[in-house]
């Protein structure tokens, strides 16, 4: 893309994502992702209905009447967006490419976060870390993140999730919200999954195209693996061939869902041409129930 095309695309994504960042969505974000602790606010006289466990006995003894300590939620959070930038990112057969869907979802999450006065950052990875946008507040940060996603040239390389997860473990000190986007074909190979899901609020989103799940009957097709550049022929007229592709997709889904239950993180699949708000809200609501 040229510079003007990138700017135009960023503006389109900003417009679409801001429309989706409505009051309901913001409310779900705020209630689902709470602060990471409580900080002292003040000491005040005891009022009927206050928790007696919060009584400050030293102050109470000094003034001969009950006083309590009050605390408030440490609200400021950090949202980190982690994106697998292997070449499959530029695949899409219907409404738009996976890359564009990821950029929209990232922008929607980002605008929700900054409205709640949270910081937002970005990590682009494949077999190594390619780009890092340090977490900051403000609209300019969100637009920069969208621009980096749209402008990045996908890499023909394997994906090593531990490269990203280990980097995040080392560099993100405080517990943060992590949204990771990928195909997640080899998630079970990750050795860091358990550790990062314990330290951070981990949410994995598998972005897929309908044709990756279900191939139509259109005869012989020459396929190309975007990550290895290998080509191969498939006879889509064969029901066995079509069934094998679908079974492969479903098996990966089953494995990833099993890993999410075992390691206590959120996992969802979103088709790149569908409305992504409902799946995102299901993540928020599930998180809210488990918090």
Residue 163 makes CB contacts below 8 A (sequence gap 6+) with 125, 126, 127, 128, 129
Pure H helices in 33-127: 57-63, 98-115
pLDDT tens digits for range 97-134: 888 899 999 999 999 888 888 999 999 999 999 999 99
Pick the CATH number of 3-32+76-290 from 3.40.50.410, 1.10.3980.10, 3.40.50.1370, 3.20.20.10: 3.40.50.410
For the record, the structure tokens of 189 come out as 């190979």
**Tens of pLDDT along 49-106?**
888 888 899 988 988 999 888 765 555 789 999 999 988 777 766 778 888 899 999 9
Q: Domain boundaries in the chain?
A: 3-32+76-290, 38-73
Look up the pTM and report it. Answer: 0.77
């Amino acid at each position: 893309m040229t510079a003007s095309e990138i700017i135009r695309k960023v503006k389109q994504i900003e417009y679409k994502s801001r429309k989706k960042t409505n009051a309901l969505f913001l409310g779900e974000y705020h209630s689902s992702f709470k602060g990471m602790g409580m900080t002292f606010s003040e000491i005040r006289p005891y009022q009927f209905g206050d928790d007696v466990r919060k009584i400050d006995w030293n102050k109470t003894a000094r003034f001969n009447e009950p006083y309590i300590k009050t605390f408030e939620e440490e609200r400021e959070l950090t949202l980190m967006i982690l994106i697998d930038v292997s070449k499959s990112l530029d695949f899409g057969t219907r409404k738009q490419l996976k890359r564009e869907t990821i950029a929209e979802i990232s922008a929607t999450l980002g605008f929700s976060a900054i409205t709640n006065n949270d910081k937002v950052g970005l990590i682009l990875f494949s077999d190594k870390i390619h780009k890092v946008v340090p977490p900051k507040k403000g609209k300019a940060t969100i637009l920069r993140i969208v621009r980096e996603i749209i402008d990045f040239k996908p890499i023909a390389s394997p994906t090593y999730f531990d490269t990203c997860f280990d980097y995040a473990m080392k560099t993100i000190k405080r517990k943060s919200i992590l949204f990771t986007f990928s195909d997640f074909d080899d998630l079970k190979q990750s050795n860091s999954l358990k550790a990062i899901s314990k330290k951070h609020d981990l949410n994995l989103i598998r972005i897929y195209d309908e044709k990756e799940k279900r191939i139509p009957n259109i005869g012989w097709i020459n396929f190309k693996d975007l990550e290895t550049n290998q080509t191969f022929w498939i006879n889509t007229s064969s029901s066995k061939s079509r069934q094998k592709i679908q079974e492969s997709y479903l098996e990966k889904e089953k494995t990833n869902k099993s890993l999410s239950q075992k390691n206590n993180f959120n996992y969802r699949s979103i088709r790149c041409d569908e409305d992504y708000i409902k799946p995102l809200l299901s993540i928020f609501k599930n998180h809210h129930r488990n918090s």
